[in-house]
Structure 1
């Protein structure tokens, strides 16, 4: 199937669909200006202070970092929290909302991103499943309970030179121990997952309704294939949009090479060209 045939098939699926499952990986945020952590050099371009410490993304995205080097761990996550709060979602989010709104059963989001960009783009929070949690909630590092709470009152201040948090670190309101983001990290046995599980339960219930489901996958890479595998389980009408790793088995879907916003805008133009 050539590129034009793939586009035609994707457009026909979108026209016929009665439900839209949006699956999104880290590449979804790149067009909004969020950093791409691909490889150590990509990570260090985003966080040059951590190159001095020779810390990788895997080193920082690890619960042990909060006990071994808490100000550096909170420097990394605090910077991300501040960045995500000020980042505006790109135009592709609005296109997805528009597509979902015209379908009988609407849409639902499944994402490995922790940035909260779908909610910021005015997607209904009850229609979003964040399989790795969210940076906008905190939990105890112990944890002393299965509770998480909003990060609203925490405004991180980071030293650009050292990458460390310079203001007071957040603590658990229950026990007073250090708090951390409610995010699933590498080697993480202490993640409070009940909030993510509730979201997944709502998604599972929603998936029972559509008879002509279309899946639009955006920026989901092979390195951590959680989102890609989830998309593929819900074929055979998967539209995979990815700049480098768009390949997908023909009986599951079609692959379109390109960035998230570019691919969505192109498909939207084709949807309205006839």
Structure 2
């Protein structure tokens, strides 16, 4: 299977990476799969009986902002400290284009510039209201979190337009206030590129079925050719056998493929 996947990549004129949360696990980022996975990463929330889906809800920024910013402030600092694993460099060397549901900014840290972030980015902020459709970098944001309670200490990040509370520019569960303009513009550019790509091979990494956004994009982009490589240690199956299935983690698979595929290759 590795040889078949390597052959697809080596022969491609364009390479698309569709990445889910599993892509960051080998960089040391927590796996939020299921309540137990989330609680292993954040034991205080297990004591509180709070699941990821409950915390990733914009209502908390209105009703309990120190709880909301405790969760997202901790994640922001974690992602800032995380170094992308070597698999990112392999993909960058292949000249891949990226579509991802991840909000951690790992692809940008690895040198990628054209990244379509379908759920936004934790490294950008917006107004909670929102008072405008403005989105700005979170570079100067430093949220202090009490690790015993997982609550943020004052002052909390403020909107640079109205002075009210700011929040991450991330699409959360049941989110009607997300300012999706920057994400949509990147998606429009990505869609134009994908439609013009010839001999496209899709490399899907760490994308599960619980929130199938990334899987659907990978299957859509490879529908005509069946040139899909799905890398997933838990859910690697491909419908109707249209593609290559690798039951491996992202770093393991990319390291193995790097030995079989030249780093410098003419992809668009």
Same-fold status (TM-score > 0.5): yes
- Equivalences for residues 18-167 of structure 1 within 5 A: 18-100=13-95, 107-124=96-113, 127-167=114-154
Give the TM-score normalised by the residue count of structure 2.
Answer: 0.94
Q: Does the aligned pair in 2 maintain the 1:21–1:110 contact within 8 Å?
A: yes
Aligned-pair distance for 1:67? 1.4
Residue 262 in structure 1 maps to residue 252 in structure 2: yes
Structure-2 separation of matches of 1:138 and 1:271: 39
Query: SS in structure 1 opposite 2:31?
Result: coil
Aligned to 1:217: 204
**Is the CA contact 1:7–1:256 (under 8 Å) kept in the aligned structure 2?**
yes
Deviations 1:111-155 (A, max 9, x none): 00000000000111xx10000000000001111111111111111
1:29-57 CA distances to partner (integer Å, 9 max, x unpaired)? 00000000111111111111112221110
The residue aligned with 1:104 is none
Unpaired runs of at least 5, structure 1: 1-5, 101-106
Deviations 1:24-83 (A, max 9, x none): 000000000000011111111111111222111011100001112110110000000000
1:192 aligns with 2:179: yes
The count of aligned residue pairs is 259
How many angstroms apart in 2 are the aligned matches of 1:152 and 1:168? 16
Q: Which runs of 5+ in 2 are unaligned?
A: 263-268
2: CA distance between counterparts of 1:171 and 1:87?
Answer: 25
Alignment correspondent of 2:265: none
CA contact (8 A) 2:194 2:221 kept: no
Distance 2:53 2:176 in 1: 15
Runs of 4+ in 1 over 4 A off after TM superposition: none
With 208-217 and 255-264 compared, the bigger mean Cα shift is at 208-217
- 1:236-255 to structure 2, matched below 5 A, reads 236-250=226-240, 252-255=242-245
